[in-house]
Structure 1
Amino acid sequence: MAERARRPHRPAPHADLTALIDAAGGSMPQSRAEIASATAAVLVRVGREPSGDDDRFVSLADRVGLDTLAELWRDADPVSLPGALWALYLLRQWCRSSAEEIGRLWRAGEPVAAADAVVAGVADYVDVESVTRVADDVLTGAYRGDFAVALERAAALFRVIAAGRRELAVDGEHGRAELDLAGRNERAAGDLAAAARLWRDGRLR
């Protein structure tokens, strides 16, 4: 916790997450791993309650800052509840900030990853709006639908994007960089798919 004490600009965003833990009857744990697990578990539990406010949880990163969520969850095991939530919020931010790029990669990857394209559920006409909307839909599904399905949709989206990178990669340094990013996208997809399986088994923590 000493690291947090050296960063006084963080308390206000963290207070929002601390309030969620307190409201759920818990207490703020001490270790970073405990904080990651506790905040993720409370967000999913409270967010999935019938009286929950979908937009409040979908737009969490907008309110508390993506850096705050990164400090909480980025170092978590990718195949864990905080790791999976971090991937979903990071995907949403990426879709909002780089929608045109993702649309270009999607159009290149969709023909060679058609099954994944169907699972991801992006509109037939891929534009900035549809890319932004699918990321919101995935997070909404995490709180209002089948959490495993939401993870599988995100995994499928990453796989289509990876396919697009491979299709568009050219010779040279830029092409090698794109292939490296494709590999990272595929690893993210694999982690999300594994997390979905654990959720269905009741073992995602």
Structure 2
Amino acid sequence: MPEQFHRPVRRPTAAFDNLVGHEDPAEQSRMAHATASALLDRARTDDSGAVTDRLIGFAAEHGIDEIAELWSHTPARSLPGALWRLYLLQLATRNDAEQTALLYERGRVELRSPDAAIAGAPAPADPQEIVALVDAILRGVFRGDFALALERAAAYCRVQASGATHVADDYEATEPERAGALTRRALRLSTYAEDLAASATAWRRGTLV
């Protein structure tokens, strides 16, 4: 799954609350920030949890075309940028849960930090448990402590990045192309971790928009 964080598989799509971007960059940016804020507010004010369930299941059922059109071009350290990265993590994990679980476990063993505990997966975690973890993090965005959810996502990315780096080292001598793909994945995940952690800090300061 070397390119899933760059060009994720897209499935048949449906309207994402009938909101789409605009060809004008300024209007597209305005729409991205407005829809991210509106969706977050809508989920957080719905005591039934039904909106959150629908938002968590949306990408798994419909793909991310509509989400991409809304949020993919916004700054990484913004509300829509953070949500976009969380949806990418969810879809990439679901698309290859087995390998994701293997990389997570390798990272958990190798990484000398509390990140695995912060992310919150069982030890060891099977593929279904890793999918459940990512869904739980996304649920925390819509229903729980938003900054904490972003920090859990950042920790998850750091564990995955560590696993990808160490597995890349294993393949360097025998399968250099595979090692290169894993190294690129690790770098991408590390960048996601930095952006999500920065977004969590900005949220606590009231400056994440």
User: Normalised by the shorter chain, which TM-score bucket?
Assistant: 0.7 to 0.9
**What amino acid is aligned across from residue 146 of structure 1 in structure 2?**
D
Residue matched to 1:24: none
- Structure 1 residue 194 and structure 2 residue 192: aligned? no
Residue matched to 1:144: 143
Between Structure 1 and Structure 2, the one with more helix by share is 1
Higher RCO (CA 8 Å, separation ≥ 6 residues): 2
Over the matched positions of the two proteins, sequence identity in percent amounts to 40
Unmatched 5+ stretches in structure 2: 1-11, 20-25
- Structure 1 residue 36 and structure 2 residue 32: aligned? yes
Paired residues of 1:17 and 1:39 also in contact (CA < 8 A): no
- Equivalent in 19, 39, 42 of residue 46 of structure 1: 42
**What amino acid is aligned across from residue 83 of structure 1 in structure 2?**
G
Residue matched to 2:23: none
Unmatched 5+ stretches in structure 1: 1-8, 19-29
* Structural mapping, 1:166-181, within 5 Å: 166-169=165-168, 170-171=171-172, 172-181=176-185
Question: What secondary structure is seen at the aligned counterpart in 2 of 1:59?
Answer: helix
- Structure 1 residue 13 and structure 2 residue 9: aligned? no
Q: Partners in 2 of 1:87 and 1:191 — Cα distance?
A: 9
Q: Partners in 2 of 1:185 and 1:112 — Cα distance?
A: 16
Question: What secondary structure is seen at the aligned counterpart in 2 of 1:31?
Answer: helix
* Offset of residue 64 of structure 1: 5.0
- Structure 1 residue 123 and structure 2 residue 90: aligned? no
Question: What secondary structure is seen at the aligned counterpart in 2 of 1:198?
Answer: helix
- Equivalent in 71, 86, 94 of residue 96 of structure 1: 94
Question: What secondary structure is seen at the aligned counterpart in 1 of 2:114?
Answer: helix
Aligned-residue CA RMSD (Å): 2.1
Q: TM-score, normalised by structure 2?
A: 0.82
Deviates more, 1:30-39 or 1:171-180: 171-180
Q: TM-score, normalised by structure 1?
A: 0.84
